[in-house]
Amino acid sequence: MKKNRSKNPWVIGTGSSILAVLGIRLIDYFVGTKILSSVWQGLLWTLSTISNFFTQKFEVTFWFLILLPIIVLGLILLILWIISKLQEVNSESSAPQIPFLRYTQDIFDGILYRWEYVKNYSGKYEITDISLYCPDCKCSIIYDKCPVCKKYYGRNRKDMVEIDALIRHRIENKNQHGY
């Protein structure tokens, strides 16, 4: 199977650079302009100006040397604070509120089940950490029995795969909970 190299970003970047230089050279040749030499002269002038700026001597007062780092640090902290606030606003507004994520508990055959959702690598939500609770006192059921009420729930207890299927069924059919 032959690879299509024309969509490779390195090929596109290198190829367009070569084509740009060849295009400028062709324009220089046929029109008689000196585009490349003008660009080269402009680049040399820019580098010369930058070099002259950094080699000049300045006199600075002592108080300015003390105040400058404080001002720079304050500006950096202000910029970081603004960025964090913008990220909070973006995360709140861009995160879609998926209604079924509020559906985290239900009663099946007289037992209260609670669970959580985890987003997997493919972007889909999975039901995890299914736990059993007494519907009366909301205590965790241990060995099919409520330690507070002493009620036995062994007969009504369903397999976790079955509970997962019931939860998915209720989500898909959008029952009375309105999710």
Angle 158-104-141 (CA atoms, 0-180°, nearest 5)? Answer: 45
Render pLDDT for 70-93 as a digit per residue (tens, 0 to 9): 999 999 999 999 999 888 877 665
What is the mean pLDDT of the segment spanning 52-63? 87
Edge to edge, the sheet with strand 125-133 lists: 105-108, 111-119, 125-133
pLDDT higher for 156 or 162?
A: 162
By percentage, how much of the chain surpasses pLDDT 90?
30
Reply yes or no on whether the pLDDT at 6 is more than 90.
Answer: no
Reply yes or no on whether the pLDDT at 7 is more than 80.
Answer: no
CA distances to 34, 45, 112 from 41, rounded to whole Å, are: 11, 6, 79
Q: How confident is the model at residue 24 (pLDDT cuts 50, 70, 90)?
A: confident
Q: How confident is the model at residue 19 (pLDDT cuts 50, 70, 90)?
A: very high
Q: What is the pLDDT of residue 96?
A: 57
Please give the Cα distance from 32 to 19 (Å, whole number).
Answer: 19
Residue 130 near residue 118, CB atoms below 8 Å: no
Q: How far is CA 160 from the centre of its chain?
A: 32
Q: How confident is the model at residue 124 (pLDDT cuts 50, 70, 90)?
A: confident
Please give the Cα distance from 174 to 179 (Å, whole number).
Answer: 6
Reply yes or no on whether the pLDDT at 45 is more than 90.
Answer: yes
CA distances to 86, 90, 96, 103, 125 from 93, rounded to whole Å, are: 11, 5, 7, 21, 20
What is the mean pLDDT of the segment spanning 148-158? 84
The secondary structure of residue 141, as a DSSP letter, is: P
What is the mean pLDDT of the segment spanning 123-134? 89
What is the mean pLDDT of the segment spanning 138-159? 86
Closest CA to 178 of 115, 100, 112, 108: 100
pTM (2 decimals)?
A: 0.46
Q: Is the dihedral of CA 8, 13, 15, 19 positive or negative?
A: positive
Q: How confident is the model at residue 3 (pLDDT cuts 50, 70, 90)?
A: low
